[in-house]
């Protein structure tokens, strides 16, 4: 038994989950090609063997690792001869900070924009589940979120400013070559690209667009190869 990545399946075979893209790209960085096993939101029992209910879950022969951060650390420690995801102990510590920034600032600003699109993108079997859980989380209907899209896009712009300024100086977040912190942030853009028919970046946001373009090209266009609504991105 080789490497298996359990990841979120949406409708039309889409794979928008940013957490699963963190794992997909970390595996590719290490030169590893897993078998992908798609899991719907309402198939939580399919990953029960991992002791929890969320994806991604990585099975590497008899080892099972859940949580995208733990998967990255597992790959770094288990495959030390492959290219490093962190480039040193300092890089690992600060990549963890950037994962918290991605979750609590970037994704928090992005998710009210994308949640209504996700409702259309999830597998038909998951639609009721998705609507109920997300409307409970936001305390209002996804339709109300969609009506405020322009406001949320405006609020996203300053949240991206640290990334914009960093990438104005450096080809990638991690320096001259991409590594795990790039995958953390890019996975959010990949989520947007997978479900949303309009670009979340303005045409003049050239620094972020150029970086995103390079990220889509990585690993023989791995992130570009999956179905997307926003084919221009």
Q: Which residue ranges make up the site for a copy of itself (CB under 8 A)? A: 84, 86-98, 100-101, 103-105, 108, 158-159, 161-163, 165-166, 169-170, 173-175, 179, 181
Sign of CA dihedral 127, 133, 138, 140: positive
Residue number with CB closer to a copy of itself (98 or 142): 98
Residue number with CB closer to a copy of itself (87 or 230): 87
**To the nearest whole angstrom, how small is the minimum distance from the Cβ of residue 74 to a copy of itself?**
17
> Within 13 A of 54's CA, how many CA atoms are on the CB side?
10
Residue number with CB closer to a copy of itself (179 or 196): 179
**To the nearest whole angstrom, how small is the minimum distance from the Cβ of residue 42 to a copy of itself?**
29
Structure tokens at 128: 């009721």
Max CA pair span of the chain? 50
Residue number with CB closer to a copy of itself (167 or 218): 167
Instruction: For residues 67 and 23, give the distance between their C-alpha atoms in angstroms, rounded to a whole number.
Output: 9
Lateral strand order in the sheet of 57-60: 35-39, 3-8, 57-60, 63-66
Instruction: For residues 212 and 167, give the distance between their C-alpha atoms in angstroms, rounded to a whole number.
Output: 10
Residue number with CB closer to a copy of itself (99 or 194): 99
Question: 120-137: buried (b, 16+ CB within 10 Å) or exposed (e) per residue?
Answer: ebbbeebbeebbeebbee
Preceding peptide of 70 cis, ω within 30°: no
**To the nearest whole angstrom, how small is the minimum distance from the Cβ of residue 105 to a copy of itself?**
6
**To the nearest whole angstrom, how small is the minimum distance from the Cβ of residue 26 to a copy of itself?**
14
**To the nearest whole angstrom, how small is the minimum distance from the Cβ of residue 78 to a copy of itself?**
18
Is there a contact between 166 and 173 (Cβ–Cβ < 8 Å)?
A: yes
**To the nearest whole angstrom, how small is the minimum distance from the Cβ of residue 101 to a copy of itself?**
4
Residue number with CB closer to a copy of itself (17 or 84): 84
CA 183 to mean position of chain CA atoms: 8
């Amino acid at each position: 038994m080789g490497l298996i990545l359990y990841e979120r399946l949406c409708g039309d075979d889409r794979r928008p989950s940013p957490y699963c893209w963190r794992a997909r790209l970390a595996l590719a960085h290490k030169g590893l090609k897993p078998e992908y096993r798609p899991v719907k939101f309402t198939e939580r029992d399919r990953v029960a063997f991992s002791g929890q209910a969320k994806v991604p879950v990585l099975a590497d022969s008899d080892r099972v690792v859940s949580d995208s951060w733990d998967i990255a650390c597992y790959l770094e420690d288990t495959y030390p001869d492959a290219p490093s995801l962190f480039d040193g102990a300092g890089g690992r510590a600060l990549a963890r900070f950037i994962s918290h920034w991605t979750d609590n600032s970037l994704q928090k600003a992005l998710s009210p924009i994308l949640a209504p699109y996700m409702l259309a993108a999830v597998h038909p079997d998951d639609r009721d589940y998705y609507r109920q859980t997300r409307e409970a989380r936001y305390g209002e209907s996804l339709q109300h979120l969609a009506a405020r899209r322009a406001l949320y896009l405006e609020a996203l712009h300053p949240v991206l400013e640290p990334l914009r300024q960093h990438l104005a100086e450096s080809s990638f977040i991690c320096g001259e070559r991409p590594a795990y912190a790039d995958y953390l942030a890019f996975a959010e853009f990949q989520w947007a690209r997978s479900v949303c028919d309009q670009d979340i970046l303005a045409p003049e946001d050239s620094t972020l667009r150029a970086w995103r373009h390079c990220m889509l090209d990585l690993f023989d266009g791995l992130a570009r190869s999956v179905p997307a609504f926003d084919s221009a991105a």
